[in-house]
Structure 1
Amino acid sequence: MLELRPNCECCGRDLPPASVEAMICTFECTFCADCVAGPLGGVRPNCGGEFVRRPVRPAAALARHPASTVRVFNPAGCGQAEAAR
């Protein structure tokens, strides 16, 4: 089950469970759409994988299986995609 992490790992922006701006990679690293399109250039710097929009968990399922409250913030890794080009 997806963790539904609460923020963008790059800029720290809040990404609540219902956000359609949340993007994830295959390792569930979570970023906002602006950082994916901007500094990350659409490619996850650690794994080189693609991003997809994080699905929205329905409210009833969210009540039984709440989103994560653990914030991951690593702005130092955000410029790696552009530096590699």
Structure 2
Amino acid sequence: MMGILDGLMGNASNVDEKEIMKEYEQLFIEGEEVSAAFKVIRDLFIFTNKRLILVDKQGLTGKKTEYHSILYKSISHFSVETAGHFDMDAELKI
């Protein structure tokens, strides 16, 4: 239940790496492994050993999907904001 509430509030929930490898195997190149994956409502953020993959489900049914592949060497800046006492959200900005 908390996972659903976290998603509705914009908080990411962890997703099993093996599940992601199986479900999205067509996206991965040889030797690529999932390091971590997070889901926010229907969207997915996949961190691999080579790149960041964003899966953006669109529309009411979520059948329309947009995929973004960002090589780590293409990321020129990122910041991390930790959670505070009253604001429980931590954020990663790229």
**TM-score, normalized by length of structure 1?**
0.27
Between structure 1 and structure 2, the one with the greater Rg is: 2
**TM-score, normalized by length of structure 2?**
0.26
Considering fraction of residues, name the structure with more strand. 2
Higher RCO (CA < 8 A, seq sep 6+): 1
